[in-house]
């Protein structure tokens, strides 16, 4: 039998301060990037939003003989297309052309830019000459109103899905578990979005799908650990929640590593072989898997333990070993059980749900 991480005994919760600091730095860095980019004059905005969320037209053009990106840009400018972005893709005869909303005023808000971007670009490509053979292969044109609607919908739907998670976990476990799981998912989404802001990777609808996948994966991971904690609570009624949580993380560690590792490598395959159509999607998943696995240990369990200790004093079952003194108020119990006393002192409250 090959064994990975057998019988590990790591005091994960002891490191919670460092986890918290690390996560805070990550989130603050993302927030900082978003805020400075948003406020910087002439900047790109908090995120590099794709046309799905920001009005404009994204086209993929194919050529028989690909001209230089500058030549394409010049041709576009001659047709009056302002601020076009021309990027090469992973195919030699193909370019991506991103045209922001054309024109101004009420008309451009709605109708014009959905039509004009493509029409003008098609004209510009034709003007490059027949031997170049430029053709638009695909278009995504979204008006400002539709972009707004798509963005609001993506946010609303993600939040609703989280409410569903909160309700289910709340009913199966305790509401503190549900709250901890939801906070963890928020953390994961924020960190991932922060990295997208820092790296200026483009966010489009497929990235949203990846974020939803990451939510599913992260919650799944968290529940596996919570389930084990619940089971341990039933089996060992006299051990502290702190110790039981550590034990649960250690018991499920090999499963966590194997599952996360396998999914991680599958996603890596997608980053490598998926091509640039799937790039945003696979990058978001790639980061999400790492963050989602880390956050179960570093965020979900410490928060849950903390909630149980601080926010539910009424439900507390203080476990005072023989000879121990019970200190009220701070939630700390001085334990007298030799090797376990250190951790017991950190919090021996536990809440068992029958």
Partner 1 sequence: MKKNILRRVIIIAIVTIACLYIVLGPRRRDAAGALQWPKANDFTYAGIKRTLSENIRLGLDLKGGSHLVMQVQTGTYLKKLTEDLAPALENAAKSAGYNVQSVTPNTSGGNYQVVLTAADASKLSEIRDELPKKIDLSYWTSSVSGNTVTWTLPQGAQRTLSDQAVDQAYRIVDSRINAVGVAEPTLQRHGGQGSNQILLQMPGIQDPERIKKLIAGESRLELMKVVSPPNPSPMKTYATEEEAKASLGGQVPPNRRVLPYSERDEPTAAGETATPDPNRPTQWVVVESPAVVDGSELRSADAAQGSGGGDSNYEIDFTLKPTGADKFGAWTGANVGAYMAVVLNNRVESAPFIKSQITDRGQITGNFTEQSAKDLALTLRSGALPAPLVYLEERTVGPSLGADSIRAGVTSALGGLLLVILFMVFYYRGSGVNAVVALLLNMIITIASLVVFDATLTLPGIAGLILTIGMTVDTNVLIFERIREELETGKTVASAVDQGFARAFVTVIDTHVTTIVSSLFLFVFGTGPIRGFAVTLILGLLANLFSAVYVSRTIFIWILNRKGRRAETLSI
- Contact between 212 and 331 under an 8 Å Cβ cutoff? The reply is no
Nearer to partner 1, 144 or 320 (CB): 144
Q: Binding to partner 1 by residue 10, rule CB under 8 A?
A: no
# chain residues binding partner 1, by CB under 8 A: 75
Q: Binding to partner 1 by residue 21, rule CB under 8 A?
A: no
The CA distance from 146 to 48, in Å, is 17
Q: Binding to partner 1 by residue 87, rule CB under 8 A?
A: no
| Candidates 130-138, 192-200, 238-246, 340-348; binding stretch for partner 1 (CB under 8 A) | 130-138
| Candidates 64-72, 191-199, 266-274, 314-322; binding stretch for partner 1 (CB under 8 A) | 266-274
Q: Which of residues 205-264 bind partner 1 (CB under 8 A)?
A: 205-206, 208-210, 212-213, 215-217, 219-220, 223-224, 227-228, 231, 251-252, 254-255, 258-259, 262-263
Q: CB of residue 106 vs partner 1: minimum separation in angstroms?
A: 11
Q: Which of residues 271-330 bind partner 1 (CB under 8 A)?
A: 272-275, 277-278, 281-282, 285
Which listed residue (11, 69, 123, 140) binds partner 1 by CB under 8 A? 140
The CA distance from 169 to 183, in Å, is 13
* φ/ψ (deg, to 5) at 349: -75, 145
Q: CB of residue 145 vs partner 1: minimum separation in angstroms?
A: 6
**165 burial level (CB within 10 Å; 0-12, 13-18, 19+):** buried
- Contact between 332 and 345 under an 8 Å Cβ cutoff? The reply is yes
DSSP class of residue 102? P
The CA distance from 193 to 10, in Å, is 31
Q: Which of residues 174-213 bind partner 1 (CB under 8 A)?
A: 205-206, 208-210, 212-213
- Contact between 337 and 229 under an 8 Å Cβ cutoff? The reply is no
| SS3 of residue 142 by DSSP | strand
Nearer to partner 1, 33 or 57 (CB): 57
Q: Binding to partner 1 by residue 265, rule CB under 8 A?
A: yes
Query: Token pair for residue 68?
Result: 């230089």
Query: Token pair for residue 87?
Result: 């990027």
């Amino acid at each position: 039998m090959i064994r990975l991480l057998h019988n590990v005994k790591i005091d994960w919760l002891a490191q919670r301060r460092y986890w918290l600091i690390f996560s805070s730095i990550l989130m603050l860095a993302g927030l900082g990037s978003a805020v400075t980019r948003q406020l910087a004059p002439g900047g790109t905005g908090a995120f590099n939003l794709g046309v799905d969320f920001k009005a404009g037209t994204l086209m993929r053009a194919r050529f028989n003989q690909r001209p230089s990106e500058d030549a394409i840009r010049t041709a576009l400018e001659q047709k009056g297309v302002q601020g076009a972005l021309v990027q090469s893709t992973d195919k030699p005869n193909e370019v991506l052309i991103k045209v922001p909303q054309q024109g101004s005023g009420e008309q451009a808000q709605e109708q014009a830019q959905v039509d004009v971007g493509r029409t003008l670009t098609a004209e510009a490509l034709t003007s490059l000459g027949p031997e170049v053979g430029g053709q638009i292969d695909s278009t995504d044109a979204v008006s400002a109103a539709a972009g707004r609607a798509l963005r609001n919908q993506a946010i609303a739907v993600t939040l609703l899905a989280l409410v569903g998670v909160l309700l289910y976990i709340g009913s199966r476990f305790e509401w503190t578990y549900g709250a901890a799981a939801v906070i963890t998912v928020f953390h994961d989404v924020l960190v991932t979005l922060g990295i997208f802001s820092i790296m200026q990777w483009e966010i489009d609808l497929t990235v949203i799908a990846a974020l939803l996948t990451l939510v599913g994966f992260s919650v799944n991971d968290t529940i596996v650990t919570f389930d084990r904690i619940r089971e341990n609570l039933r089996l060992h009624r006299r051990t502290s929640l702190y110790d039981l949580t550590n034990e649960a993380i250690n018991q499920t560690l090999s499963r966590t590593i194997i599952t996360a590792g396998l999914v991680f490598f599958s996603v890596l395959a997608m980053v490598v072989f998926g091509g640039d159509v799937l790039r945003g999607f696979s990058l978001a998943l790639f980061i999400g898997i790492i963050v989602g696995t880390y956050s179960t240990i570093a965020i979900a369990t410490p928060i849950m333990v903390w909630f149980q200790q601080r926010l539910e004093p009424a439900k507390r079952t203080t476990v005072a070993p023989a000879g121990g003194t019970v200190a009220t108020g701070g939630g700390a119990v001085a334990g007298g059980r030799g090797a376990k006393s250190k951790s017991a002192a950190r919090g021996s409250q536990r809440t068992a749900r029958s």
